[in-house]
A and B are shown apart, each in its own frame.
Chain A
């Protein structure tokens, strides 16, 4: 009989009780279904037994908090409720972080802006969305809104810097012509010079001699040439990489101007007049000229312009546009009279020529001292933002201050515009091969000037518990 394969014969082959026993495949499925979850539980229990809670943590804490990173309860304060989420109270225990503005309509929770458990992530590096919670549609509790109400990012929605907006000008009262100062044939104390920006502008804290300070003219003045500690910079120092402060040192006559703009008041007296109030200058001149006559009695018999040479004519020409000719006094007769007339010439040259080069002033009547307009040189232009010059030291000054070579008027604001910043700073930052462009790069939410000193709350044992 040949082999016949029918449904019936096939059916008889099957062991009808086969499903009551676990076949290898099903057995493995069952075993793995038990073992794998058990392994998972074992992993959790093992970590718990070893005291490691990092497996639940969304990441290592920031460097600043790493010292108590294992002590979860320090921030995750367990109260009566189920939740142990970090509240503002935990942050404020160590950080007295003043609010942004008294008129702000909304105060976010600390952890909504400062995200912890991101490893070496800088906690101050808040997202623009955090700032945009208010600034994308700004409202104030009361009073007038003073800022652009729709600023949500730097790339597109940030307004031009305030000093560069229409109608704004440099409020400085010192006449300065950048164009003239940057010419290659400028007359320096020892011949022609090509001035560099850094000859006058340097970040605070760079303790190197100023090339055009009084120190470059030893006999000129006894005033210090370097910036004193008291002058070093104000706010919270964010950048310490270079040792220099973020802003430029305040411009001072003794540091930046004295070497070229010497206040020599008499050709026979080498010591220049002090850069001070007119009454002090006058007293200094009177004393020096009296001393000159006393030491050189023969001068009385010489012309009152002795030693001046061409300077008198130069002064005449200089003053001519103002129709204020330098009228020479009559020939002196006594030493006192000589000194008085010599002092008058010196003062008129100073008040009406040397001082006026930089200072706007009222000359007043002949016997009265001039009144100078108070010198104002803005040290910081962006009052609501921070800028760090040393961080930009790889670039030439002109690459950002692009109009400086053409600037002839003090009133011209030579601050780089936002479009210059946007060439490097972009919202996406390093992800777009660009510099950081988020709000926090320039702006600080907390007004640290209002920071109050804090009293510590934890002892070492509490801080290091868990380590």
Chain B
């Protein structure tokens, strides 16, 4: 989510609420008999407000589960989640008197809360910057969940391209291009099999290419992450394909270009995978910790109000 001028109202509301909270907190902290405590009247007020804000932030999940609910736009909910969720942190600090608490439960709550807030802030920053990075660095972006599926298709596509290229290089007219076929027509036959001309057939190079495909291209395309492979490095991959172009007949260059292009797409998809994990990985901490926080927070509220 891009944090831009559309957030101004939310930021203003958050800052005003924070200012009011602080204005009340300072004299309260100065005159409170036992110092600011969660159990004091003001502490309970701050705790209730903080909990309400947390609960509101938590409702974003429900809002996403039921997108048809007519309870405001999703972007508004997201902005509210971001800023009111952030606001809950100072209110909970006011509630606790800037203490982690002494009880294991309250300490756990504070640690969880810090996890949630920090992961949320990190997430918001990533959501602000990374989408633009992905757009720039991954022009061939696809649906994240389909990356493996697309990679499999790329492998198939590369296999087809190489098969065609090899067939031509090995003299298989079935896969020869029209020029090769024209040249081969003048070359004659031997033992019932038609061979391409000597110009079109390059068996040693074909063997090299075959080996390169089997050893490098195919494993790289099939491999979940291309890390450690020669083709994962754009410079080295480019140099390698350039060498093949020198060795290979010029009419095979388009196919080689296709192979190079497929490898480039795989590289981008791998990059997308990494960036996507960065972009959404924080949710693996943020969401489970938030649920645990809300649950334990409710227990804490009941126990604290009772005792």
Contacts and interface: CB of A to CB of B under 8 A. Distances in A.
Find the residue from A5, A58, A59, A132 having the highest chain B CB count within 10 A.
A58
B182 interface: no
Q: Name the 5 nearest CB pairs between A and B, nearest first.
A: A59-B102, A36-B288, A23-B145, A3-B258, A32-B288
Interface residues of A, number: 47
A271 to B, nearest CB: 65
A33 B103 contact: no
Interface string B106-120: 101000000000000
Contact of A55 (B103, B157, B265, B289): B103
Interface stretch (A13-21, A200-208, A309-317, A355-363): A13-21
B15 to A, nearest CB: 30
B153 A13 contact: yes
Contacts of B291: 33, 36-37
B254 interface: yes
Interface stretch (A109-117, A337-345, A380-388): A109-117
Find the residue from A36, A85, A129 having the highest chain B CB count within 10 A.
A36
A251 to B, nearest CB: 42
B254 A54 contact: no
A15 B149 CA distance: 8
Interface string A67-94: 0000010001000001111000000000
25 contacts: A13-B142, A13-B146, A13-B153, A14-B142, A14-B149, A14-B150, A15-B146, A18-B145, A25-B145, A29-B288, A32-B284, A39-B292, A40-B292, A40-B295, A56-B103, A59-B102, A59-B103, A72-B307, A83-B305, A83-B306, A84-B306, A113-B33, A115-B34, A127-B35, A129-B32
Contact of B261 (A3, A40, A56): A3
A129 to B, nearest CB: 5
Interface of B: 31-35, 39, 101-106, 108, 140, 142-146, 149-150, 153, 157, 161, 254, 257-258, 261-262, 265, 276-277, 280, 283-284, 287-289, 291-292, 295-296, 299, 303, 305-307
Contacts of A14: 142-143, 146, 149-150
B258 A2 contact: yes
A133 B31 CA distance: 9
A327 interface: no
Given A23-B144, A117-B102, A127-B35, A13 B149 contact: yes
Interface in A21-68: 23, 25-26, 28-29, 32-33, 35-37, 39-41, 44, 54-59
A10 interface: yes
A72 B306 CA distance: 13
B295 A41 contact: yes
A33 B64 CA distance: 15
Contact of A58 (B106, B265, B288, B306): B106
A127 B306 contact: no
B287 A32 contact: yes
- The main secondary structure of chain B at its interface with chain A is helix
Contacts of A72: 307
A129 B29 CA distance: 10
Contact of B295 (A3, A29, A37, A76): A37
Contacts of A2: 254, 257-258
Nearest to A28: B284
A127 B34 contact: yes
A36 B140 CA distance: 36
A127 B34 CA distance: 6
A184 interface: no
Contacts of B161: 3
A130 interface: yes
Interface string A227-270: 00000000000000000000000000000000000000000000
B280 A25 contact: yes
A37 B294 CA distance: 9
Contacts of A3: 157, 161, 257-258, 261-262
B101 A58 contact: yes
A58 B307 CA distance: 10
A129 B34 contact: yes
Given A33-B287, A56-B105, A18 B149 contact: yes
B103 A18 contact: no
A188 interface: no
Contact of A76 (B31, B153, B296, B307): B307
Find the residue from A5, A13, A108, A127 having the highest chain B CB count within 10 A.
A13
B142 A10 contact: yes
Nearest to B289: A36
Find the residue from B102, B144, B254, B261 having the highest chain A CB count within 10 A.
B102
Given A5-B140, A55-B104, A112-B33, A44 B299 contact: yes
A57 B103 contact: yes
A1 B118 CA distance: 52
A37 B288 contact: yes
B32 to A, nearest CB: 6
